[in-house]
Chains A and B, each alone.
Chain A
Amino acid sequence: MRRASALAFIVMVVAAPWLVAAAVPRQQRYVLHVLIFTVLFAALALSYDLVVGHVGSLSLAHPAFFGVGAYAAAILATRARWPFLADLLAAVLAAAVVAALVGVPLFRLTEHAFAVGTLGLALVASIVANNWVEVTRGPLCITGIPKPVLGLPGGPTLAVTTLPGYYWLALAALAAVVLLYRRLTTFRLGRAFHAVRDNEPLAGAAGIDPLKYRLLAFTIGAALAGGVGALYVHYLSVMCPEEMTVALTVNLLVIVFLGGVGSLRGVLVGAVLFTALPEVLRLAPTWRLVIYGGLLLLVVVRSPEGIESLLRRASGARAGR
């Protein structure tokens, strides 16, 4: 029964472009655009949750890693004409290298200083994006980023040019992130991450090197954020410094903390609610802010652990527990 409904859900998600075409033919492009954003934000939020949810380090630097990946891909694709998969890989690696380098000094700081330090990093990254004009073109933005072409050198290629095609590409990326997220957060690795999060001194007594595990989650989270950055700029075909401001951090914090910190399902639900919902609610402009704000308030008051705990309570009640 559970399996069947999970399968039905996955089929629906994959078939979304056709469903949208059938249901709202006149707004098809707009709805697909919202869906693509939702999927990319879900992947980004999961990469963020690896750090805040599973090793419990409140990093505010995620836009910086997203930006490093986005700019790496944008520059390599436009100026060096690298193929899509190559610049995607470069984006992932560039973000990981930056995270590993800054992570070592940052994780030596205390909890609060770490948050402030990562915020500083995000601000510096945003200033660099604005002012290092020779490389980033600053506020003029990098434009003309080509649509992704999948394929390896010499082999057949597949250009992703349509909105449904891009939706499926984003969905494939999200699936990869979900798989990696599950691998990292369950079994032995997950246990070690959670031990570090819940009781660092005791983790040490258990033979776990807290710094190593924090750095690992931070670096992998950054690498994935860099990859999402690359997908993002290939979709929009431009990259501007505004894409990596602190506003992005706020968005991620809302998705992760209101959805359910440290929970796959919670973060995914959060991504849908707080990316797609504001867009959908825009249809009633007068009420949008009121409803959105009210919802935030309700979740915070009723369920400080996020929507995930509401879901868990609901499914617990159904199971008659």
Chain B
Amino acid sequence: MALLEVRGLVKRFLGVTAVDQVDLAVEPGELVSLIGPNGSGKTTLFNCVTGYLAADHGRVLFRGRDLTHVAPHRVARLGVARTFQQVSVFPRLSALENLLVFLQQHQEEHTLARLIRTPRLRRLEVEAVERARRLLDLVGLTDKADAAAGSLSYGQRKLLAFAAALMPDPDLLLLDEPAAAVNPTMINQMKSHILALHRQGKTVLLVEHNMEVVMDISQRVVVLDHGQKIAEGSPDAIRRDARVIEAYFGR
């Protein structure tokens, strides 16, 4: 069974059909890229999958479970993590706290029980801090742990948001343009981070404009144009696909 399955998804905004009858399946452990020209509906598809937008038609299944009308926080707790195209952090929390927030909701459910700092809760917090520090090390933000996230550079915030998505050890990771608007060194960093995740067996759906990254690391590529899926296949097949070339260069 596919880990994520999107069936006949339609999302319209006042006259624009941003996502038009899209079918998509991602198998466990796969690294799939979703590409397409600007405005082709990639982010909208992410938003429909993660509960930020309600689809007009079609269904989203995660492990066979219907996500179509599930709120974002519930989707997250089911094991689906996402990043945002517009880099998104909690500016007034420290880098470390930014990561902690992403794990605590998965560790325990009872909101008001947190008023009492039980030994169990303290132990969970220690574990969370350890994991957060490891992830900060991984993305090279070790010495920024106590800096307010809002004070970090654009690239650093991007890395922080990426690390935050990894905090709860999600089963499915949706990345919206992780390599956009950062310098070449960081693009390579991101690329190797994503590859490493893939090798660990994580399932990744990647939206990315940087063709080098997409073609290098994806197992499969899905192409959207004007909200419709126009092609799907291996990176090599996509590179040669006439409709894809047309969509990118033919206007």
- B51 interface hit (Cβ, 8 Å): yes
Q: Does A199 contact B (CB under 8 A)?
A: yes
Number of A-B contacts (CB under 8 A): 86
Q: Can you list 23 contacts pairing A with B, beta carbon distance less than 8 Å? A: A184-B115, A187-B125, A188-B104, A189-B115, A191-B97, A191-B100, A191-B104, A192-B101, A194-B93, A198-B91, A199-B89, A201-B52, A201-B84, A203-B101, A204-B76, A205-B84, A206-B76, A206-B101, A206-B102, A207-B106, A208-B73, A208-B101, A209-B71
Q: Is A312 an interface residue (CB 8 A)?
A: no
Q: Which of chain B's residues have a CB closer than 8 A to the CB of A203?
A: 73, 90, 101
As a 0/1 sequence over residues 180 to 201 of chain A, the CB contacts with chain B under 8 angstroms (1 = contact) are: 1001100111011011001101
Could you list 17 further interchain pairs (A-B, Cβ under 8 angstroms) beyond the known A180-B115, A202-B84, A207-B106? Answer: A187-B114, A188-B121, A189-B111, A194-B90, A199-B88, A204-B71, A204-B76, A205-B72, A205-B82, A205-B88, A206-B164, A207-B76, A207-B102, A207-B105, A209-B71, A212-B111, A213-B111
Partner of B105, one of A187, A199, A206, A216: A206
B117 within 8 A of A: yes
**Contact A198/B115 with A204-B72, A205-B50, A209-B73 known, Cβ cut-off 8 Å:** no
Residues of B within 8 A of A180 (CB): 115
Give chain B residues whose Cβ lies under 8 Å from the Cβ of A207. 73, 76-77, 102, 105-106, 168
Query: B67 near A: Cβ within 8 Å?
Result: no
CB of B81 closer than 8 Å to a CB of A: yes
Q: Do A191 and B93 form a contact, CB below 8 Å, given A204-B76, A208-B105, A209-B71? A: yes
Chain A residues with a Cβ under 8 A of chain B: 180, 183-184, 187-189, 191-192, 194-195, 198-199, 201-210, 212-213, 216
A202 touches B76 (CB 8 A): no
Q: A188-B114, A206-B105, A207-B106 are contacts. A199–B50 as well, Cβ < 8 Å?
A: no
Q: Are B89 and A204 in contact (CB under 8 A)?
A: no
Closest to B174 in A: A205
Residues of B within 8 A of A202 (CB): 84, 88-90
B92 at the interface (CB under 8 A from A): yes
Contacts of B73 in A (CB 8 A): 203-210
Within the complex, what minimum Cβ distance (angstroms) separates B162 from chain A? 12
Note all chain B residues with C-beta closer than 8 A to A187: 114, 117, 125
CA distance A201 to B73 in the complex (A): 9
Q: Measured between C-beta atoms, what is the minimum distance from A266 to chain B in Å?
A: 15
A-facing residues in B155-179 (Cβ within 8 Å): 164-165, 168
Within 8 A of A (CB), among B107-148: 111-112, 114-115, 117, 121, 125
Q: Complex formed: what's the CA distance from A204 to B97 in Å?
A: 16
B121 lies within 8 A of A204 (CB):
no
Task: Name B's A-contacting residues (CB within 8 A).
Answer: 50-52, 71-73, 76-77, 81-82, 84, 88-93, 97, 100-102, 104-106, 111-112, 114-115, 117, 121, 125, 164-165, 168
Q: What 4 A-B pairs have minimum CB-CB distances, sorted nearest first? A: A204-B72, A207-B105, A207-B76, A198-B90
| A99 to B: closest C-beta gap in Å | 15
Nearest to B122 among chain A residues (CB) is A187
A188 and B90 contact, CB distance less than 8 A: no
**Closest Cβ–Cβ distance, residue A85 to chain B (whole Å):** 22
Q: Which single residue of chain A is at the shortest CB-CB distance from B106?
A: A207
Query: How far does the alpha carbon of A192 sit from the alpha carbon of B114 in the complex, in Å?
Result: 11
B72 proximity list for chain A (CB < 8 A): 201, 204-205
Q: Are B76 and A192 in contact (CB under 8 A)?
A: no
Indicate if the CB atoms of B111 and A204 lie closer than 8 Å.
no
Chain A residues with CB below 8 A from B81, complex form: 205
A304, chain B: closest CB distance, angstroms: 15
Q: Is the CB of B168 within 8 A of A198?
A: no
Which of chain A's residues have a CB closer than 8 A to the CB of B125? 187-188
Q: How far is the CB of B83 from chain A (nearest CB, A)?
A: 8
Residue pair B92, A198 in contact (C-beta under 8 Å): yes
Assembly CA distance A213 to B125 (angstroms): 20
State how many angstroms separate the Cβ of B9 from the closest Cβ of chain A: 20
- Once bound together, how far apart are the Cα atoms of A212 and B112, in whole Å? 11
Chain A residues positioned under 8 Å from B91 (CB to CB): 198-199
Closest to A210 in B: B73
Which chain A residue lies CB-closest to B107? Answer: A188
Rounded to whole angstroms, the CA-CA distance of A93 and B164 in the bound complex is 38
Q: Which of A189, A204, A213 has the most CB of B within 10 A?
A: A204
| B105 contact set on A, CB distance < 8 A | 192, 206-208
CB distance from B185 to the nearest CB of A (A): 26
CB pair B104 A199 closer than 8 Å: no
* Best-buried of A187, A198, A199, A207 by chain B (most CB within 10 Å): A207
Q: Which residue of A lies closest to B102 (CB)?
A: A206
Q: B243 to chain A: closest CB distance in Å?
A: 33
A201 → chain B closest CB, angstroms: 7
Residues of A within 8 A of B114 (CB): 187-189
